[in-house]
């Protein structure tokens, strides 16, 4: 009888386990819609583990990314800076990538092979991603490191150019070294958002030198400790790719099809930021309140970022200020005083939390048709 109970308990345990869905998804995953002609890929291409100066094992980075509903990550360990090398000796600079790749093999998460070239100003810190082998990039001369990364077909971007530890004024300095990299086609992107910092000067450089706009967490500790428990999302780069494959994502990065996001801050070129916000807002209903010229419009935010808007139409709102927040995953009702009955109108809102250039917000439009 005791053996029978043991068998029954074992079978019951299997039933419980099989009935549970195995998922790393958190209660607040990052979600953003596709835009016309492209799918939206959520990436974080700058983070660290104990294989450089981070505090966690590479598999934790994979698990965190799965919880946040990311599509692509890269562990960009410092090539030259190895503070844990006495405890974790690893002459092979590819080891972190290999561990992450193994952890992610059974999940829908792409791992990009990357490393960080770490030098003092004016070279600064730069990530090389989509590399083949990190070891040859470890070079004595910075020029040779960039040359080798580009020889491998890497996409290279400038990390935290406004970081006060390298630029005491907190503003980036485009040195002759960076300019030469751009001229030689060896520098392709720039972080406008790194960790908690948004630098509008970095955005200006991205636009002036035609560099891809990037946003990254640069996380060293736990995502939960550094971001989530403080009520924040990790900073990410949305990449607008033709398909969710590494070659397609790489092509999109080189083409500059990105938007950098941190909480309710969205930064990108107008061609991609405007359709992203348009598709993030669903118009659920449009109708006039009975016996009035007040148009009731219900908007729903389909993204995981709060969207801050200011009325940019020629009509004023009824019972609502001109500036309002459409919170992530919620709906908001606008009452628009059109002064006359209109079958169609264009709703125009200025996206105050979004930037297409330093201190320049885009105007987002939706065509509305009033129902009876």
> Are residues 168 and 285 both part of a single domain?
no
Per-residue pLDDT band at 28 (split at 50, 70, 90):
low
Nearest CA-CA partner of 43 in 78, 69, 77? 69
The pLDDT, as a whole number, for residue 372 is: 54
| DSSP collapsed to 3 states, 187-203 | CCEEEEEECCEECHHHH
Residues 248 and 305 reside in one and the same domain: no
Q: Domain total for the chain? A: 2
Check residue 27 and give its pLDDT: 55
Q: Is residue 263 packed enough to be buried (19+ CB in 10 Å), middle (13-18) or exposed (0-12)?
A: middle
234 and 176 assigned to the same domain: yes
The answer to whether residues 343 and 197 belong to one domain is no
Residues 308 and 184 reside in one and the same domain? no
Residue 250's SS3 state is helix
State which residues form the domain around 348.
276-369
- Look at residues 263, 293, 328 and tell me which one is the last residue of a structural domain: 263
Looking at per-residue confidence, does 122 or 330 come out higher?
330
> Based on the domain organization, do 158 and 246 belong to the same domain?
yes
* Mean pLDDT of the residues in the chain: 92
Distances (CA, A) of 146 to 122, 131, 154, 178, 245: 14, 11, 9, 11, 25
254 in a domain, yes or no?
A: yes
Q: What 8-state DSSP symbol labels residue 230?
A: G
Residue 6 has a pLDDT of 46
Which residues face 133 on adjacent strands?
Answer: none
**Residue 23: what pLDDT?**
46
Residues 117 and 222 in one domain: yes
Among 212, 238, 263, the domain-final residue is: 263
SS3 150: helix
Name which residue leads in pLDDT, 327 or 7.
327
Question: Is residue 78 within 8 Å of 48, Cβ to Cβ?
Answer: yes
Pick the last residue of a domain from 211, 231, 263.
263
269 in a domain, yes or no?
no
**CA proximity to 39, closest of 301, 242, 247, 336:** 242
One domain, residues 197 and 296: no
234 with 336, same domain: the answer is no
Q: What is the DSSP letter of 73?
A: E
Considering the domain architecture, whether residues 301 and 240 belong to the same structural domain is answered as: no
* Residues 97 and 194 occupy one common structural domain: yes
Task: Report, as an integer, the average pLDDT of 119-127.
Answer: 91
Range with the lowest mean pLDDT among 15-29, 171-185, 314-328?
Answer: 15-29
Check residue 9 and give its pLDDT: 40
pLDDT, position 32: 98
- Looking at the predicted structure, is the pLDDT value of residue 334 above 70? yes
Condensed to tens digits (0 to 9), the pLDDT of residues 196-233 reads 999 999 999 999 999 999 999 999 999 999 999 999 99
Same domain for 238 and 108, yes or no, is yes
pTM of the model: 0.92
> Which pLDDT belongs to residue 122?
86
């Amino acid at each position: 009888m005791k053996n029978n109970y043991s068998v029954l308990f074992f079978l019951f345990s299997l039933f419980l386990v099989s009935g549970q869905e195995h998922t790393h998804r958190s209660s607040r995953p990052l979600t953003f819609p596709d835009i016309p002609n492209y799918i939206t890929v959520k990436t974080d291409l700058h983070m660290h583990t104990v294989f450089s100066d981070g505090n966690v094992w590479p598999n934790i980075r994979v698990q965190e990314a799965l919880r946040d509903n990311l599509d692509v990550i890269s562990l960009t360990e410092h090539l030259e800076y190895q503070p844990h090398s006495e405890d974790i000796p690893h002459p092979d600079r590819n080891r972190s990538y290999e561990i992450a790749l193994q952890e992610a093999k059974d999940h829908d998460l792409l791992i990009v092979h990357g490393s960080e070239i770490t030098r003092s100003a004016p070279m600064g810190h730069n990530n090389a991603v989509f590399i083949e082998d990190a070891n040859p990039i470890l070079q004595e001369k910075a020029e040779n490191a960039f040359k080798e990364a580009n020889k491998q077909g890497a996409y290279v971007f400038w990390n935290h150019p406004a970081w006060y530890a390298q630029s005491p004024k907190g503003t980036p300095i485009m040195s002759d070294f960076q300019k030469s990299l751009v001229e030689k086609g060896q520098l392709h992107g720039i972080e406008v958002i790194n960790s908690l910092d948004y630098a509008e000067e970095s955005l200006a450089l991205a636009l002036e030198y035609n560099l891809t706009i990037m946003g990254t967490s640069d996380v060293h500790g736990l995502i939960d400790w550094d971001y989530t428990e403080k009520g924040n999302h990790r900073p990410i780069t949305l990449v607008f790719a033709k398909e969710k494959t590494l070659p397609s994502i790489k092509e999109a990065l080189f083409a500059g099809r990105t938007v950098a996001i941190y909480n309710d801050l969205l930064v990108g070129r107008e061609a991609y930021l405007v359709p992203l916000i348009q598709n993030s807002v669903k118009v659920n209903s449009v109708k006039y309140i009975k016996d009035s010229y007040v148009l009731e419009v219900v908007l729903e935010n389909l993204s995981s970022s709060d969207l801050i808007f200011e009325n940019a139409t020629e009509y004023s709102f009824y019972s609502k200020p001109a500036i309002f927040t459409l919170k992530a995953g919620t709906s908001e009702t606008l009452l628009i005083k059109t002064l006359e009955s209109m079958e169609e109108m264009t709703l125009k809102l200025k996206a105050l939390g979004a930037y297409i250039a330093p201190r320049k917000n885009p105007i987002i439009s939706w065509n509305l048709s009033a129902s009876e």
